[in-house]
Amino acid sequence: MLKLSPSILAADFTRLGESCAAVLDAGADMLHVDVMDGAFVPNISLGVPVLAALSARLPAFYDVHLMIRRPLEYIKPFCGAGASLLTFHLEAESPVEQTIRAIRDAGCRAGLSIKPATPPEAVFPYLDALDLVLVMSVEPGFGGQKFMPAAAGKIAAIRAEAERRGLSPDIEVDGGINPETAPLCVRAGANVLVAGSAVFRAPSPADAIAALRRACGA
């Protein structure tokens, strides 16, 4: 089943709770929370206090994407703040297997993300332990970038390997998702789409979400 996870990076931060609630009411399945530390990626976004405040007032599935250098050090704080799923980068400095275990021990689902330059085969050793694989279709760090078509091939490779092993993790794609690019990803095997500007900054988030679903035949 197709799931839409709008990125709150594109929300109106002066009305964050109201903006997120409107997107959920419009049909989003979850909220994507981009956490950036200014070191792993060249931008700084938000952290534990914002997630804690938002989750306390707005019940939702919080799809938290850690774009930070040492994710292992922040697992407990983010899970305690309301994260439902924590995704970290394979390219980060924390040991992958240890970080996955720490996420599960903290009571969250575990995801692993790869940047555009990282081959899909890099996630294969960890597939059995993951709930989700996130394929970045832009360079992480800033919203509003153009979709990189090579992401579709990476999604297809990961989905094929998962099916070969009898696994069915969610495969998420993030970056430049709109009604033109979303079907490419879904046909390749993605079932979770992160769309920030296309949803939060649309005149009607409900129409934008409906258009994405319609484009993907969902």
Catalytic residues: 34, 174
Rounded Cα distance, 21 and 18, in Å? 5
Phi/psi for 194 (5° steps) reads: -95, 120
Rounded Cα distance, 110 and 103, in Å? 6
Helices (runs of H) and strands (runs of E) counted in the chain: 8, 8
Contact (Cβ atoms closer than 8 angstroms) between residue 187 and residue 2: no
Rounded Cα distance, 218 and 34, in Å? 26
Phi/psi for 111 (5° steps) reads: -130, 155
What is the token pair recorded at 161?
Answer: 């390997």
Rounded Cα distance, 2 and 198, in Å? 17
